[in-house]
Amino acid sequence: MAKITLRGNPVNTFGELPAKGTAAPGFKLVKTDLGELTLTELKGKKVILNISPSLDTGICATALRKFNQLAAAMDNTVVLAITKDLPFAHGRFCTTEGITNVTTLSGFRDSAFGKAYGVEIVDGGFTGLYARSIVVINEKGTVKYTELVPEIAQEPDYDRALAAL
């Protein structure tokens, strides 16, 4: 169980992020067209998992916009924005914001992702949502970088995540 805060109040997650150097846990998440995407489908690409509670919060939206801008210049790299928001909300947000370089995915169908990556929040006002975090996975499926943002209302360290690519 990891400890973070939400506006200074202690919050716990289900577990810990995957360790650097280990195989990234597989996942099956829902795309905006209600189809599914698995980590296996991304083998051979660098993957940035931008995990957050909801696109409907200011910091989550800011991080998605920032990664959308940064992703445009990255070769062989996929950025995934993962929340528990419904795919319809993802589609609406991306259309409104002009997000074209990030794939949004939802974990609303099952809780396997949040548990496998240790990011499911287990207490407080955001119970059941994901903690703000970054996981960078290389082309072979190995975890190269992780960041569990200590305060949910803070942005992740974009530079360190990109440096891990």
Q: Which residues are catalytic?
A: 60
Backbone angles phi and psi of 33, in degrees to 5: -90, 10
* Residue 145 CB partners (closer than 8 Å, separation 6+): 20, 134, 135, 136, 160, 161, 163, 164
Rounded alpha-carbon distances, angstroms, from residue 119 to 33, 40, 69, 88, 97: 24, 20, 25, 22, 26
Q: Which residue has the tokens 């062989």?
A: 76
Residue 151 CA to its chain's centroid (Å) = 15
Closest CA to 30 of 99, 66, 71, 80: 80
